[in-house]
Amino acid sequence: MGTIVVKNQPCLSKECGSHDARQIYDNGTSFCFSCRTWFPKEDGESMASVKASKIEIKSQLPTLEEIKSYPIRGFADRDIGLNICEFYDVRVSYNSEREIDTHYYPYDEACVKVRKLPKSFFLVGKSHKLFGQTKFNAGGKRLVITEGEIDAMSVAQAYYDKYQKVYPAVAIPSASHTKVLLENRDWIRSFNEVVLCFDEDKAGKEALDEAIKIVGIDKARIAHLPCKDPDLVYRTHGGNKLLQAIWDAEKFVPSGIIGKEELWKALESYNNIPALPYPPCLDGVNGKLKGKRLGEITLFISGTGSGKSTILREDILYTLENAPPEDKVGIISLEESPAETARKLSGMVLHKNPANEEIPLEQLKKGFDVVFGSDRVVLLDHQGSIDDNRILDQLEYMCLSGCKYIYIDHITILVSEGMENLSGNEAQDKVMNDLLRLVKRYPVWIGLVSHLRKSNTGAKSFEEGRLPSIDDIRGSGSIKQISFDIISFARDLTATDDLKRNTILMRILKARYTGLTGNVRGSVYDYKTGRLSAAEETAQEDFTTL
């Protein structure tokens, strides 16, 4: 880059707004460390003008003894009183019009930082101290470190306004001068906590990263400001707002690790997640799962023809009736068309099975209006083309459209064409991880259907009433691992007795929220109405040996 000949100048970019991040080099170019922008020679100062200006100003700088004779004044434009300027021994000088044109910030007896208004900075002498450090003894409850002298004085003014006392507030010369923290690390760490109150810009955040390393994560606290810097907070929002940012300063926590405050907030949020019950026909499931919650995935598994789709439709109708009116329902049924789904749901509302009897369109329309009239149901029209990448995009669209409860029937078809050139278990792993991100990001609840492996030779089949186990789930282990709850059910399609053939036996295989698993009261299917009702408790006796 070359040699810096003038430091801490305002950025030439109007979008940046930094007042001291641009450094000018000996070839006439300059670089802003805030917006990370190079400015060519023709946009910056020429080498000759830079050197001439610097030599001229330096030749006019007073000595340390002369500076000590200059007056101390308050800064009305910064709302900083005379008492604070006296405390820090900040002095001024005037131009020919008797206007303040220069500030003098003492760092110690041997060094003063000179600020020629508006934004030219020079040093008289040399120091390894922080601004204001000599005014405070080591040790104590809290030290506030800012990125500039005016910012430290604003903090001090806020303290004085409230307590009529100045508490430790010091400053580094600029965002690019964090080395001074290392040179005074022992003094800094003598305080119980160190609040880093840096500018809310790119240069400030980069300086903050360096400062945290030097101060140490055990002492460092991060102040989050409502605007760019402490000076602006004090002038626009008042001293109490600035002090509140200091009091609320948080411990530094590395990315990906949750601290105490974040953990408690997460616990509060998790503890307050409302549970929406399953319908009365799944009352046995409610007994162990305590309903379904946003941010979770529930897996439904059974053999072919055991009633998975009917159970989902019962839950869809109950959810529409009992969830908040602003919550929508998304349906992705990959084995039937949207029209078929709408026909069955409309008939169920009327307690009529369209497979058992022809329902006149005018009657079906009444059922349709109950389910779809409020426009709370969003269906995927896959048109026979199953592309899991596209479907996942549409799933996210459903979430963004207000769907809080989403039903997917079923994951086996969802990944049948491969995911991002993956196949088999890898594709299912990808889909399950994507679904998990969706339920946590928005959050939503997803009811997911999965098919089963083929029964072992000689074993009773699922269609003969054998209840599936977790190991019967077809495909990747991620399906069972990522799912929060797993509901297993079966019915004996070969039974000659109508009641037994239409009784769905159920078992909870996984319940992450409650930990309650085992057999539960099942449901009975009424072919005429197409509806389910809760089975008698005695149906438990019909569980077969697995």
pLDDT, tens digit, 9 for 90 and up, residues 269-306: 777 788 999 999 999 999 999 999 999 999 999 888 88
User: Please, which pLDDT band fits residue 386 given cuts at 50, 70 and 90?
Assistant: low
Same domain, 54 and 175: no
Structure tokens at 194: 């160190």
Residue 259 lies in a domain: no
Q: Which residue has the higher pLDDT, 205 or 20?
A: 205
Same domain, 195 and 244: yes
Alpha carbons 45 and 57: distance in angstroms, whole number? 15
Q: What's residue 221's pLDDT?
A: 93
Same domain, 442 and 339: yes
User: Please, which pLDDT band fits residue 96 given cuts at 50, 70 and 90?
Assistant: confident
Q: Which domain-ending residue is among 187, 219, 254?
A: 254
| Residue 5: CATH number of its domain | 2.20.25.10
Q: Which residue has the higher pLDDT, 470 or 25?
A: 470
User: Please, which pLDDT band fits residue 255 given cuts at 50, 70 and 90?
Assistant: low
Same domain, 166 and 123: yes
Domain region containing 14? 1-60
Q: Report H helices in 272-380.
A: 283-289, 308-322, 338-349, 361-372
Q: What is the amino acid identity at position 6?
A: V
Residue 265 lies in a domain: no
pLDDT, tens digit, 9 for 90 and up, residues 300-332: 998 888 888 899 999 999 999 999 999 999 999
Same domain, 316 and 232: no
pLDDT, tens digit, 9 for 90 and up, residues 505-543: 999 999 999 999 999 999 999 999 999 999 987 655 554
Same domain, 51 and 71: no
Q: What's residue 373's pLDDT?
A: 92
Same domain, 309 and 236: no
Residue 262 lies in a domain: no
Alpha carbons 71 and 82: distance in angstroms, whole number? 11
| Residue 175: CATH number of its domain | 3.40.1360.10
pLDDT, tens digit, 9 for 90 and up, residues 323-374: 999 999 999 988 888 899 999 999 999 999 998 999 999 999 999 999 999 9
Same domain, 66 and 51: no
Residue 171 lies in a domain: yes
Q: What's residue 196's pLDDT?
A: 95
Cβ atoms of residues 160 and 84 within 8 Å: yes
Q: Which residue has the higher pLDDT, 208 or 381?
A: 208
User: Please, which pLDDT band fits residue 48 given cuts at 50, 70 and 90?
Assistant: very low
| Residue 468: CATH number of its domain | 3.40.50.300
Q: What's residue 277's pLDDT?
A: 96
Same domain, 55 and 67: no
pLDDT, tens digit, 9 for 90 and up, residues 177-219: 788 898 899 999 999 999 999 988 888 888 898 899 888 888 9
Please determine, for residue 238, whether its predicted confidence score (pLDDT) is greater than 70. yes
Residue 268 lies in a domain: no
Q: Determine which of 70-79, 144-153, 462-471 has the lowest per-residue pLDDT on average.
A: 462-471
> Which 3 state secondary structure label does DSSP give 100?
strand
Please determine, for residue 175, whether its predicted confidence score (pLDDT) is greater than 80. no
What string of H, E and C letters represents the secondary structure of 383-416? CCCCCHHHHHHHHHHHHHCCEEEEEEECHHHHCC
Alpha carbons 220 and 225: distance in angstroms, whole number? 16
Among 162, 165, 130, 133, which Cα is nearest to 147's? 130
pTM value is 0.56
Q: What's residue 174's pLDDT?
A: 80
Q: What's residue 545's pLDDT?
A: 40
Q: Is the peptide bond before 118 cis (omega within 30 degrees of 0)?
A: yes
Q: Determine which of 249-263, 271-285, 440-454, 527-541 has the lowest per-residue pLDDT on average.
A: 249-263
| Mean pLDDT score across all residues of the chain | 85
Percent of the chain exceeding pLDDT 70 equals 88
Q: Which domain-ending residue is among 60, 89, 105?
A: 60
Q: Determine which of 44-58, 317-331, 397-411, 437-451 has the lowest per-residue pLDDT on average.
A: 44-58
Q: What's residue 58's pLDDT?
A: 54
Same domain, 322 and 441: yes
Same domain, 246 and 279: no
Q: Give how many domains the chain has, as a whole number.
A: 3
Q: What's residue 423's pLDDT?
A: 61
User: Please, which pLDDT band fits residue 414 given cuts at 50, 70 and 90?
Assistant: low
Same domain, 226 and 78: yes
Q: What's residue 464's pLDDT?
A: 83
Q: Which domain-ending residue is among 38, 60, 82?
A: 60
User: Please, which pLDDT band fits residue 47 given cuts at 50, 70 and 90?
Assistant: very low
Please determine, for residue 245, whether its predicted confidence score (pLDDT) is greater than 60. yes
